[in-house]
Structure formats: C-alpha cells, structure tokens
Structure 1
Amino acid sequence: MILTGLLCGALLGFVMQRGRFCLTGGFRDMYLTKDNRMFYALLIAISIQSVGVYALIQMDLIKFSAGAFPWVSTIIGSFVFGIGIILAGGCATGTWYRAGEGLIGSWIALFGYMAMAAMMKTGALVPVNNSLKDYTAPHNSIADTFGISVWPFIALLVIITLWVVIRTLRKPKVAIPSMKAKRKGLNHLLFEKRWHPFFTAVLVGLVALLAWPLSEATGRNSGLGITTPSANILQYLVTGDDDKFINWGVFLVLGIFLGSFIAAKGSREFRFRAPDAKTAVSSFIGGILMGFGASWAGGCSIGNGLVMTAMMTWQGWVSLVFMILGTWTASYFVFVRPRTKAKRQASAATAAATA
C-alpha cells in the first residue's frame, strides 16, 4: 500500500510539469504583472479538494482533526518561506518537479531545503522549531471558531472561485504559440498540447483528494505533504532507519520527481541546465529559507497553501496570505528595485551625455 504514494506523487509531478503549475511564479506575477490566473487556479484545486475531503469525512471514510492554531510560528514561518521560494526559483513542490526536468539549480535548492527541514524537525534546530509553537489559539478550524458547520465556508469558497474563474474565462483570449505537433491523438494531448492553468488545477485538486484515502490506508492521516517527507529522505540516508523515516509521504515526493521526469522526457523539455554562480548561491539560500520557514509554519505552499486551506483551517489561510506577502517582499528586492535603480542610472547617464 505504501507504493500508492509513488503513484500519487507521479501523477502530481506529471500534471504539475505539463501544466507548469508554479505557485511561486503565480504569487510573483500577482505583484509584478497583476496576473492572478495562477492564484485562481489554486482556488480551483482547493475547492475541489475541500468538497471531496469533507464528503469523505461525512461518510466516515477518513478522519481529520485541525487541532490548535500556532499563529505566531505560522505567520513568521510562512513569510520566510515566501521569501525563500523567490530566491530558490520555485516552491517545495515546484523545486521537486523542476529537479525532475534536469534543472541543477533546483537540485541545489532542494538540498538546502531538505537539510534545513531535517535540522528543524529532528536535528540540532529542534529547540528553534519548537520555540514559537506554544503561542497558539485554541481553535484551528474556522468552523469550530464560529460554532457552525464547515459547509457554509466551503460553499462560499466555491462561489467565489466560480465567480473569478468565469470572469477570467470571459475576458478576450490572448493567442499563445503552441509547440508544433508532430504526433496526434493521446500523445499530442499528453506531451505537446499546452495545458490551461484551470484544467491543470482541476487535475491537481483531484490528485490532492486522492492522496487522502491512499495515505489513510497506510496509517498516515493526512493529505499531500512535502516538507516532512523531504526531511525524512535525508534523515534516512544518514541513519538508515527505514522504520522511522520511510513512509507513504516519502514515496509521494519521490513520485513527484519521477512523474516530472516522465513528463519532461515525453515533451522533450528534459535537459541538464547548470546555473551561474550567483544563481546557485541564491538557490541554496532560498532552499534553506524554505526549509526553515515551512518547518516553523507547519507546512509549505502545498501542506498549508493547498491542503490546510481546503480543510478550512486558520493555519492554511493565514499561511497563504503571509506566504504571498513574503513572495511580494522578495520580488520587490529581487526584481523591482534593481530595475528601478538601473533605469535611474541609465537616465542619469543620458542626461550627463547630453549636458
């Protein structure tokens, strides 16, 4: 049963690679180009998972407990994580699937992410990881906070999602060049045709939903998760303790890498690409910040931003907000400020030349 994690991860990796489902780019573009399509796609995936998971809970097929809300660590950790994913060039899942494409910078970021997460969760930085966890609110579940059923909140999310999606689809379409089709039929649909972000989001939401019963069957009562399984891989390689560190989640993240590799090879997008020294250093620092922030926040862009939001928890939605704020802050210093400075210098040089 544990191998179902590999299957689930492979499906997720394949879908995310082919659909270019990148939350880092999506959050960044909300700020830089005012393009919200990837954020709306995330809402689609959240909505599908939320409806499906709570239906399974009502049928008593899976169990979920939201617990308390560690609000301080969630806020700070999510903001740090948001900064990290801009420097790394991808979020936790994005780093895994881009590593499967042969991007060496993502391998570097992945190592920093795994190493820091391992130190925070089971290593020398456990005291740091636990230092803010005592600052909690009693209710993590939004429904429990208001003392009502969770379904009105799910209905509200679905209505908002449908509204923004329909509004976006009604806008004039921009022509996007597609790859030249050399194959027809299923191969063309899987490996050549450009996938729409909203179609990709539907598939991501279905895979996220599938993860719950598959994971539950192995005794792991959770959905998709990236940070802890990534840390577990490194801990297993160091200690060799498979009973403690190898579980469904580990096979999930390995499956993401495998699925992305298959998709990249099939679409002729796989190739090894080495970064320059500056990018390599940025990727490593970003990976470290990702591991640090995700550990403090109790989840990454998938664990909090996709799963805990679907479960209608304060942790998920507060984390998503501060994750986005972190990406916007980093985007200002990485993209906006250098461009502004360069324009000023160019203007000054032009003025001096014409004086």
Structure 2
Amino acid sequence: MSLSTHTQPLSGQREPARPGLPSARISVLGLALLTAWILGSAILETQGLSQGSLFGIGLLLGYTLYHARFGFTSAFRQLLSVGQGAGLRAHMLMLSVACLLFAPILSFGIGFFGVTPEPYVSPVGVSVLVGAFLFGIGMQLGGGCASGTLYAVGGGSAPVFITLLGFIAGSVIGAWHWGFWTALPALPPISLAESTGLGYGGALAVQLAVFAGIAGWTIWVARRKNPPVIKPVPSGKGWIRVFRGAWPLWVGALLLAGLNALTLTIKGKPWGITSAFALWGSKVAAAFGVDVSQWAYWSGEKAADLEKPILADPTSVMNFGIILGAMLAAAAAGTYAIRKVPGRIALASVCGGLLMGYGARLAYGCNIGAYFGGIASFSLHGWAWIVMALIGTFVGLRFRSLFGMKNPQPKDSVC
C-alpha cells in the first residue's frame, strides 16, 4: 500500500525510496528536530522524567515503524488476498519476544519510577467481538491501523491524516456509547497466566507454541497458493541504512517488542494508542459545550483525565512521539511528501477512521492495545480481538473496490 494508492506502505508492502530535494529534506528534518526538542523539553519540565522517557520511547517507536514499514493492515490483507504470510510471521516473532519479556516483568513486578506493572486484561464479550470486527473493516478502508495511522501521518500521508481525524471522531462516539456496549453480555477478564492456574511460565509455553503453529500455518498456506514474493526496497548499505533505508521486518519486530516491554516498566501498562484519541476528541467536544463528563466512559478513574493537561496523559505523549519519530525518519530518508487526495480515497479514509475509532473503544483497544498488548499480557481478549479483526478484514477487502482501491492479486509482485 504505497502513497500513490492510499498511504505509506505497511508491513511487508514496501515502496521504493523517493529522492527528495536536499533543501526540502533539510527543512522538514529541521522542523521535526525543533518540534521534538521543544515538546520534549516542555514534557520534562512540566511532567517529569517518567513522562519524558515515554516521549522518547514514542520517538523510537515512530522511527522504527517507519523504517521497517511495520504495520498490520497490509499484513492481514496480503494473507487473506494472496496467501502471503510474511507480515503475520513478523507479528508472531514480535509477540513471542514480547511475551518472553512481559512474563518476568509481570511475574516479578519489575518497574521504574515507582510503578508496578500491570497486564492489560479485559473482558471478552459482545463489545469486543463487534468492536474488533468493525476495526478490521476500518483498517482496510482507512489505509492503516492505529500505529500505521500515526506513523503514516508523520511521514506526510495526507489520506491517513484524514483517517486520523475520522479515528478521533469515531473514538468520541464510541466513548459516548460506552455504557450501552459494556452492559451487554461478557465473560470476566481472563488471564491465561493468572486465571487458569498455568502461571506465567505455563502461559508463556502455551502461547509460544501457538505462535509457532500460526507461523507454520502461514508457510503451509504459501506453499498452496504460491503468493507473490515481497520485493525489498532499494536501500543504502552499512550504517547509512539506519537513516536512509528500509529495515527488515524482523528488526522491526524485535525493536517493537523491546520498546513495548520498556513501556510496561515505565508506564505501568503496555503500549496503547487509541485512548488518547477519545481524550483529544472529548476535550474538543467539551470546549463546544458538550457535557462529556456525564458519559459512562468518563466516570470513575477516567474522570480526572478530562481535567488534566494533554501532556499529563502518557498515551498522548507517546502518540506525539510516534508522529515526530516517523517524521524524522521520513525526512532523513528524503521520502517525506504530501500529495493530493482523490475524493473517493478521502471518503474511504473518513469511513475507515470512524469505524476504527468506534471499534477500538468497544473492543478495549486497537491492534496495539488489544492485539499486541493484550496477547503479550496473556489476555484472552487479545486472541478474540485478532480473530474478529481478521473476519472484519475479509469483509473490508470486499468494500475497497467501492472506493477505487485495489487488493493484491496472485499475479502481482508485492513491494
């Protein structure tokens, strides 16, 4: 999925580097560096070292996501369209390493700045199943998942900026309807480590076996369907590749797993993205006179978040870092570019963003919070999320043609 069709290429779907004008590249790079320095300084001064560290992790996440073109949308699309499972195998590697890191952190309570890390375990019910399904459809229309949206915006993708606006709006509507959905039937939160008697060691062994089985299944599917080969992006050699080149998916998988584990030790919770969208949008709605404090979503512990400044929210700070980290990566590589958005693509972006925002709120998270963070936390709801998101992806692929977007075909090369 390249910018010419909708957005930045995501996992396993890569775009040749575009040579940019040196002066333009330097200008964008300078702007990104200046913004990161000003924002980072403000966070350190007003919120302290813990929040500043999370901003730094966000920068590294954005930089990694962009250079590895590591995403979820195209990985699901390629698997279901042509049987190419390279992206999903990268997910399994990422999840395996994350679980190996999360297990001792959660078991022994390893944390910094006085935090006690907690797993992300949520109920499995109607809201999760419906929300993940809607999110899967939205990914294919919006041109990216939650992490893909942030790093593509940082890379200058105009269509995905529209997706982000829809994402925020959908998150607000989901927060508004939160009380209805969470009142529907659901199982209690189930931890494969703590609710089953397996412990973290046993749950880790079970999940590693499942990851290996899924990776093996993708290889079996590939042998049957003979999918197109993923072409590597022309890249620099040696150390220059760190700044001006594409990174292998396995590098992105390892770095994302490590950074998520580091987030857990500093934030006390795994990496998340979409709760910040609900916060941003609700603050805007409140500024226009909407009494969002009466919504069930903003009751209890969350009520205080509405009164705090945005920079006090760890998820918001990390999101800003991801956008700026991707912008730094794109500027350094000379691939930062903003292009005109066709009308049908803009409409698809709005629809996709709305579905993802709404779905993420219902499902207790997105591809990062629910899928990545949930499974790494040994939560059953993470597995329910991925099953329903894949079903939603299958449906979403059928809708893409309505907006002039193409799906991979067996005869096509994937780049």
Letter in 2 for 1:232: L
TM-score relative to the length of structure 2: 0.72
3-state SS of 1:192 partner = coil
Residue 108 of structure 1 is aligned with which of 149, 162, 167?
A: 162
Residue 140 of structure 1 corresponds to 190
TM-score relative to the length of structure 1: 0.83
- Residues 67 and 174 (structure 1), Cα distance of their counterparts in 2 relative to 1, 3 Å cut: closer
After superposing the two structures, state which structure 1 stretch, 141-150 or 61-70, moved more. 61-70
Question: Do residues 9 (structure 1) and 75 (structure 2) align?
Answer: no
Shift of 1:242: 5.8
Residue 332 of structure 2 corresponds to 266
Residue 24 of structure 1 is aligned with which of 43, 68, 73?
A: 73
Question: Do residues 243 (structure 1) and 308 (structure 2) align?
Answer: yes
Shift of 1:206: 0.8
Q: Which runs of 5+ in 1 are unaligned?
A: 217-221, 341-355
Cα shift readout 1:34-75 (whole Å, capped 9, x = no counterpart):
011111111111121222122112222233255651411000
What is the aligned-residue RMSD (CA, Å)? 2.8
Extract structure 1 runs of 4+ deviating beyond 6 A: 336-340
- Residues 257 and 338 (structure 1), Cα distance of their counterparts in 2 relative to 1, 3 Å cut: closer
Q: Would you say the 8 A contact 1:6–1:254 is kept in 2? A: yes
- Residues 80 and 20 (structure 1), Cα distance of their counterparts in 2 relative to 1, 3 Å cut: same
Q: 2: distance between equivalents of 1:277 and 1:338? A: 10
Question: Do residues 191 (structure 1) and 243 (structure 2) align?
Answer: yes
Q: 2: distance between equivalents of 1:198 and 1:161? A: 15
- Residues 337 and 271 (structure 1), Cα distance of their counterparts in 2 relative to 1, 3 Å cut: closer
Residue 353 of structure 1 corresponds to none
The aligned runs of 1:1-355 (5 Å cut-off) are: 1-61=50-110, 62-64=116-118, 69-121=123-175, 125=176, 128-134=177-183, 135-161=185-211, 164=215, 176=231, 178-179=233-234, 181=236, 185-186=238-239, 188-216=240-268, 222-236=269-283, 243=308, 245=310, 246-335=312-401
- Residues 336 and 105 (structure 1), Cα distance of their counterparts in 2 relative to 1, 3 Å cut: closer
3-state SS of 1:142 partner = coil
Letter in 1 for 2:275: T
Q: 1: distance between equivalents of 2:340 and 2:404? A: 24
Residue 15 of structure 2 corresponds to none
Q: 2: distance between equivalents of 1:255 and 1:229? A: 13
* Aligned length, in residue pairs: 325
- Residues 46 and 270 (structure 1), Cα distance of their counterparts in 2 relative to 1, 3 Å cut: same
Q: Which runs of 5+ in 2 are unaligned?
A: 1-49, 111-115, 288-305, 407-415
Identity level (%): 24
Q: 2: distance between equivalents of 1:3 and 1:92? A: 22
Shift of 1:145: 4.3
Shift of 1:228: 0.6
After superposing the two structures, state which structure 1 stretch, 106-115 or 46-55, moved more. 46-55
- Residues 37 and 239 (structure 1), Cα distance of their counterparts in 2 relative to 1, 3 Å cut: same
3-state SS of 1:131 partner = helix
Cα shift readout 1:10-57 (whole Å, capped 9, x = no counterpart):
111110110011200001111111011111111111121222122112
Letter in 1 for 2:133: F
Q: 2: distance between equivalents of 1:101 and 1:225? A: 20
- Residues 283 and 145 (structure 1), Cα distance of their counterparts in 2 relative to 1, 3 Å cut: same
Q: 1: distance between equivalents of 2:395 and 2:230? A: 31
Shift of 1:231: 2.3
Letter in 2 for 1:271: A
After superposing the two structures, state which structure 1 stretch, 89-98 or 139-148, moved more. 139-148
After superposing the two structures, state which structure 1 stretch, 64-73 or 317-326, moved more. 64-73
After superposing the two structures, state which structure 1 stretch, 131-140 or 77-86, moved more. 131-140
3-state SS of 2:367 partner = coil
Shift of 1:116: 1.9
After superposing the two structures, state which structure 1 stretch, 223-232 or 18-27, moved more. 223-232
Shift of 1:267: 1.1
Q: Would you say the 8 A contact 2:235–2:241 is kept in 1? A: no
After superposing the two structures, state which structure 1 stretch, 33-42 or 242-251, moved more. 242-251
Letter in 2 for 1:200: G
- Residues 268 and 144 (structure 1), Cα distance of their counterparts in 2 relative to 1, 3 Å cut: same
3-state SS of 2:182 partner = coil
